[in-house]
Amino acid sequence: MSTRRVSIADRSSSPSPWPNNADAAPATQQPPPETQHGTGGASGSHGDDWRHSTQTPAAHVQPGIPPRIWQILLPKSSSASKDTFVADPKILIVTPSWLAMNTDYTYTLVGQKDEFVRTNFGSDPRISDLLRYLILSAAGGVYTDTDTVALKPIDEWVPAELRDKVAVVVGIEFDRRDGPRWVDISHWVQFCQWTIAAAPGHPVFDKMVARILESLDGLAKAHGVSDFGELKKLGSFGVMNSTGPAAWTDVVFEQLQEFDSSLTDIKNLSYMEKPTLYGDMLVLPIDGFGMGQPHSQSTNDGSIPKDALVRHLFKGAWRGDKRRRAGPAAFREYQ
């Protein structure tokens, strides 16, 4: 299979909606300027460069992100009244940004009683940790945490000339670069989970689900418990590490390596300056989904950089948990 890596030079224009998606809004916007093609990534060199890899299941996924937005709101795992759980409306205070900027997209707030969940996934207690991946695998669209703000319409996330090539959009949340190691981050470069866009059926989600289930089963055996709920009560870092961004980063990078054999280390993605296409997966640099952070050379001066698509408020509210981390001062207007 022939794959191409593309570095996007200018995203300031407003491209047309996804051309392969019949449900998307009609094309009313102009395409962006000429796109640079090349090796992209951290090297900073941009010349014509075609990469070849073996055939992978991802080659058979129809590109194009369906016009769907998904958010999840579940009761805390420790809640004794899950059946009567009612969320504080303030948790969804920034959700209107997604609705206003994506008027032709369907929006679904998924809860534990959601018909989509019951029909497709049953009542497995591990579902809460798998849900975002299962939803994107089954239906596609954009998953985003309830504490994220949309900064640009989804139709502008990928230039029109790449829409028939992109099946997954992921963003970097941490790039160590030349900085110190962070205690709770095991990778040099780490991908975020708070926002992911995808066409349905991409194998990266099957791999992530398999990775989570295998890890959790191993942890359950190691702790001598048979009930998954009991395992979570242990508060094991291993549980979080098996379902969170560390595991997601492992799986995504393995998928990228299938497309590009020159990626030998996660450090190859460090210092990424422009969105880069590997096979059918578009990787965004730090400001794409991760602006406003005090590390990784993320823009954190109170301004919104032109390449920022989403900003994360770090409130930890997707599970209805009131124990939130305080967001940066620039985000306090949402509190």
Average pLDDT rounded to a whole number, residues 82-102:
88
**Given a cut of 50, is residue 321 above it in pLDDT?**
no
Average pLDDT rounded to a whole number, residues 212-235:
75
Contact 300, 288 (CB under 8 A): no
What is the pTM (predicted TM-score) of this model? Answer: 0.75
For residue range 8-48, what is the model confidence (pLDDT) as tens digits? 333 233 333 444 443 433 333 333 333 333 333 443 333 33
Supply the mean pLDDT for the chain: 75
For residue range 145-192, what is the model confidence (pLDDT) as tens digits? 999 999 999 999 998 888 999 999 999 999 888 777 766 777 889 999
Strands (E), the chain: 2-4, 6-7, 36-37, 50-52, 68-72, 106-110, 141-144, 148-150, 168-175, 189-191, 195-198, 276-278, 281-284, 310-312
Domain spans in the chain, listed from the N-terminal domain onward:
66-334
**Given a cut of 70, is residue 80 above it in pLDDT?**
no
Poorest-pLDDT segment among 159-173, 179-193, 200-214, 297-311: 179-193
d(CA 133, CA 136): 5
**Given a cut of 80, is residue 81 above it in pLDDT?**
no
Average pLDDT rounded to a whole number, residues 289-308:
87
**Of all residues in the chain, what percent carry a pLDDT higher than 90?**
41
**Given a cut of 90, is residue 109 above it in pLDDT?**
yes
**Given a cut of 80, is residue 196 above it in pLDDT?**
yes
Average pLDDT rounded to a whole number, residues 232-243:
64
d(CA 230, CA 220): 9
